[in-house]
Structure 1
Amino acid sequence: MDLMVVAADAMRQDAVRLQRIAQNLSNALTPGYKKQVASSQPFGAQFDAANAAGQPARAGASMASVQARLDPSAGTLRVTGSASDVAIDGDGFFELAHPSGAVYSRRGDFHVDANGRLVGALGLPVMGAGGEIRLTAEPFTIAANGDITQAGAVVAKLRTVRLARAELLEPVGGVYALGGATLEDVAAVPRLRIGYQENSNVDSAREMVGMTETVRHFESLQKLMQGYDEVLEKSIRKLGEF
Structure 2
Amino acid sequence: MGRNTIPNNPRAPSVSNWRRLLADERERLNFPDLFYRQLEAMADALLASGEVDAPEHQNMIHLAAAGREHAQDCQQEAYQVHWRNGTYQLVNAAGASPGKLVGGRYVPDYTAAEDDLTATGVVELTPEGLRVACRTLRHTQASIVDLQLVTASGSLYVLHPLSVHRDGVDHPVLTDPDAFGALLDVLFASEHLGEARRVHIRQRLELSLFRVCRRCRNTLQREDCPICSGRGFLPRVTADGVLARASEEERKTC
Shorter chain as denominator, the TM-score bin is under 0.3
More strand by share: 1
Higher RCO (CA-CA < 8 Å; seq separation 6+):
1
Q: Normalised by the size of structure 2, how large is the TM-score?
A: 0.26
Q: Normalised by the size of structure 1, how large is the TM-score?
A: 0.27
Bigger radius of gyration among the two: 1
